[in-house]
Chain A
Amino acid sequence: EPEVTQTPSHQVTQMGQEVILRCVPISNHLYFYWYRQILGQKVEFLVSFYNNEISEKSEIFDDQFSVERPDGSNFTLKIRSTKLEDSAMYFCASSVGASDTQYFGPGTRLTVL
Chain B
Amino acid sequence: KQEVTQIPAALSVPEGENLVLNCSFTDSAIYNLQWFRQDPGKGLTSLLLIQSSQREQTSGRLNASLDKSSGRSTLYIAASQPGDSATYLCAVRGSNFNKFYFGSGTKLNVKP
Contacts and interface: CB of A to CB of B under 8 A. Distances in A.
Interface of A: 4, 33, 35, 41-45, 48, 55-56, 58, 91, 93, 98-107
Contact of B98 (A48, A100, A105, A107): A48
A55 B103 CA distance: 23
B99 A100 contact: no
13 contacts: A4-B43, A33-B100, A35-B102, A42-B103, A43-B102, A56-B96, A91-B44, A99-B31, A101-B34, A104-B36, A104-B43, A104-B45, A105-B43
Contacts of B61: none
A43 to B, nearest CB: 4
A4 B42 CA distance: 13
A108 to B, nearest CB: 10
Interface of B is mostly: strand
B77 interface: no
B91 interface: yes
A105 B42 CA distance: 9
B32 A104 contact: no
A106 B89 contact: no
B46 interface: yes
Contacts of A101: 34, 46, 49
A102 B46 contact: yes
A98 B98 contact: yes
Most chain B beta-carbon contacts within 10 A, residue among A4, A35, A48, A102: A102
A112 to B, nearest CB: 19
Given A42-B104, A43-B91, A103 B46 contact: yes
Nearest to B31: A99
Interface in B73-109: 89, 91, 93, 96-105
